[in-house]
Structure 1
Amino acid sequence: MVTFRSALAVSGAALGLVALAAVPSATAAPSAPAPYASSAAADAAAALRPAFLSAGQMPPSSTPWTADPVAKGLPETGVFCAPGVLPEHGTRHRVFRTELDTGGVQVTTVAATEAKAAALVDALRQGFLGCGERIERENPGVEAGSLYHGKVEVEEGAYVYSLDTRHLEIGSTDIFLFSVGRDGRTVTYVQWGQLGDLEDAPLTDFRTTTRTAVNKLLP
């Protein structure tokens, strides 16, 4: 039996696919305030940071979700389908995993202005929509298709996409869901993936997860 991890380990070498369920745990927790910083100032700064999804707010899975600590910067795997779009500075992320073949990640960044945040959303959306075509062009042994699944009415809006891939040599199929949403200057990207096809994906629940993620961005 080809597992989600082994299938993505093979296809990832050719495609740059993200092995969601096998993403390593965060190696570094956010640094503690300097000894001379007041605890009140540290608490105030933490309160202004965008909140992240909890494990229980991911789409339902056959085994429980666990969530790594929120970490600074981009995840080691980057932003799938839109590499190089989100900056390292001002960005944090959280990796989610289950005991079986399902995993996810949330990445949140705070832009300098609302206009720059809106531009980041547009760039991510372009990357999502063109992802399947790019994968097929670069990898003749793979069939891939990207679909747009509409807007979620929350704050400045959120947008949901899917990527369905089939590795012809291995015979495996993988389904990914992506979303990007914005509240003011803050942009969040949510990713979910597992073995299977679009009909296996919890699209309605993922839309709920996306709405929750955007609602949590600003205190």
Structure 2
Amino acid sequence: MTTFRSVLAVTAALGAALAAAVPSQAATGPAFLSAAQMPASSTPWTATRVFTGVPENGGALCAPYKIPAQNTRYREFATELDTNGVQITTVARTEADAVKLVDTLRKSLAGCGPLLERQNPGLHAVSRSHGKVSVEEGAWVYSLDTAEPQIGITDIHLFSVGRDGRTVTFVRWGQMGDLKDAPLAAFRTTTKTAVNKLW
């Protein structure tokens, strides 16, 4: 039986495999979060190198294929306890293009829950907005709470999208559990750090 969670696991594995197969790393460009700058976990975070393009699954749960591969790089994060994350950063052609991409990503994140319920019968999915983070041109935080009652699986994801001039960064954090289990305050700090580090 294919479940929402199993789809996430497969796409994450494909992304990791692609990362391992691509030995390139841009020498210059926006800086990325380190493993230590992800929200604290009971086991240490590890981080991949920074790779060019977007992960295999389009890079952004709730906004797949919205982020262009051109002028884009990403880094994936994981712990030993099934907690994972990704940061994707892209430099748009113009600042107006960057503003448009942020708006597109925000709309996708805000409407993700209802979309996933339509695509996955039996899945309960709730998206919430957690407001703006004051940093550079701004960053916005969202959550996605999913449950598959038939098999008793719940997952929680936190997302943020922020901008510094022409540069847009997207951060995702996820693990098993509910919103009450999520480090929302720490994720807001991670988001602020991610945008501040871009340049």
Give TM-score scaled by structure 1 length. 0.84
Contact kept? 1:75, 1:93, Cα under 8 Å: yes
Aligned to 2:16: 24
Contact kept? 2:57, 2:64, Cα under 8 Å: no
Contact kept? 1:158, 1:210, Cα under 8 Å: yes
Q: How far does the alpha carbon of each residue in 1:42-83 deviate from its partner, in whole angstroms, 9 at most, with x for none?
A: xxx834x00000000000001000000000000122211111
Q: Does 1:103 align with 2:84?
A: yes
> Whose Rg is larger?
1
1:1-219 matched pairs, under 5 angstroms? 10-12=3-5, 16-17=7-8, 22=13, 24=16, 26-27=19-20, 28-30=22-24, 46-47=27-28, 49-78=29-58, 79-218=60-199
Name the count of aligned residue pairs.
Answer: 195
Which one-letter code corresponds to 1:10 in the other structure?
T
Which one-letter code corresponds to 1:70 in the other structure?
V
Give identity over the alignment, percent: 62
Contact kept? 2:30, 2:197, Cα under 8 Å: yes
RMSD of aligned alpha carbons: 1.9
CA separation of 1:57/1:149 partners in 2, compared to 1, >3 Å: closer, same or farther?
A: same
Distance apart, 1:19 and its partner CA: 6.1
Distance apart, 1:24 and its partner CA: 2.0
Distance apart, 1:140 and its partner CA: 2.0
CA separation of 1:21/1:75 partners in 2, compared to 1, >3 Å: closer, same or farther?
A: closer
Q: Which moved more, 1:57-66 or 1:130-139?
A: 130-139
Distance in 2, Cα, partners of 1:151 & 1:20: 29
CA separation of 1:19/1:176 partners in 2, compared to 1, >3 Å: closer, same or farther?
A: farther
Contact kept? 2:98, 2:167, Cα under 8 Å: yes
Which one-letter code corresponds to 1:149 in the other structure?
H
Aligned to 1:37: none
Distance in 2, Cα, partners of 1:217 & 1:184: 10
Q: How far does the alpha carbon of each residue in 1:69-125 deviate from its partner, in whole angstroms, 9 at most, with x for none?
A: 000000122211111211011000000010111000000000000000000000000
Which one-letter code corresponds to 1:57 in the other structure?
Q
CA separation of 1:111/1:21 partners in 2, compared to 1, >3 Å: closer, same or farther?
A: closer
Gaps in structure 2 of 5+ consecutive residues = none
CA separation of 1:215/1:19 partners in 2, compared to 1, >3 Å: closer, same or farther?
A: farther
CA separation of 1:19/1:178 partners in 2, compared to 1, >3 Å: closer, same or farther?
A: farther
Contact kept? 1:20, 1:104, Cα under 8 Å: no
Other structure's SS at 2:102 match? helix
Contact kept? 1:21, 1:98, Cα under 8 Å: no
Gaps in structure 1 of 5+ consecutive residues = 1-6, 32-44
Distance in 1, Cα, partners of 2:55 & 2:113: 22
Distance apart, 1:12 and its partner CA: 4.2
Distance in 1, Cα, partners of 2:117 & 2:4: 12
Distance apart, 1:21 and its partner CA: 7.1
